[in-house]
Structures are given as C-alpha cells and as structure tokens.
Amino acid sequence: QVQLVESGGGLVQAGASLRLSCAVSGRTFSRSTMGWFRQDPGKERRFVAAITWTSGRTDYADSVSGRFTISRDNAKNTVYLQMDSLKPEDTAVYYCAAGSSFITRTEAQYAYWGQGTQVSVSS
C-alpha cells in the first residue's frame, strides 16, 4: 500500500522558517490530493494546505495563507510545506495525508496518513 513519512519539524523561534517534507512510497496515486493537517494536544485535527498531485492546484487555510507554501516534486514523490513567519499558534504535530479524490479540506477523504512531525514555535 501507500506509506507516508514526514520530516523537517523542529523547535524554532517566532518569525523563523521551517520546511516539512513528506516522502511517499508504495503504490502511486493518480488524480490524487496531498494534504497537510495539524493537531495540538486535546484539539481537533485541522486542515492546513493541500495540493493536487497532477495539476498542482493548491488550497490553504486562512490561518496560514500568505505564510505557508505547499509544493510537490513528482520525480521524487515528495510533497513539501514551506512555513515562513512562524507563530507560536503554529505549534502542533503536522501530518501528511494522501487521498484519491479532489476534495481537499475533508479529513475523511484522505485514506493514508503519515506518523506526524512536531513543530514547536517559541515566543
């Protein structure tokens, strides 16, 4: 099946940048969407950004629009999340997800999930 592995998280100060990577292995999706979600302990997992694998169409949550950029490298089967101007409220575990539909914001549409990578932003 499909396996997703996130990397690139860490502890940074407010205003700094991080780039998360999501390496996809196994059976490759076609007409699929790659998404990033994040979750703080005790809170609901929320949509961050998504990109369609073939066309590169993107979608962003209002809270990260203008600061985060999602991209993909088809040759490397890797999706990235460039995070700039990080804020303490961005602190969360970030999850990469893969879905077979073009619906971007609905968690249930993603069949495969990574293990998550911790992003911590100090004030």
d(CA 70, CA 42): 26
pLDDT at 32: 85
Closest CA to 82 of 61, 97, 105, 66: 66
Mean pLDDT of 81-110: 94
- Return d(Cα 19, Cα 49) in angstroms, integer: 13
Write out pLDDT tens, residues 45-87: 999 999 998 889 999 999 999 999 999 998 899 999 999 999 9
Asked if residue 110 has pLDDT above 60, the reply is: yes
Do residues 2 and 99 lie in contact, with contact meaning Cβ atoms separated by under 8 Å?
Answer: no
Cβ(114)–Cβ(93) below 8 Å: no
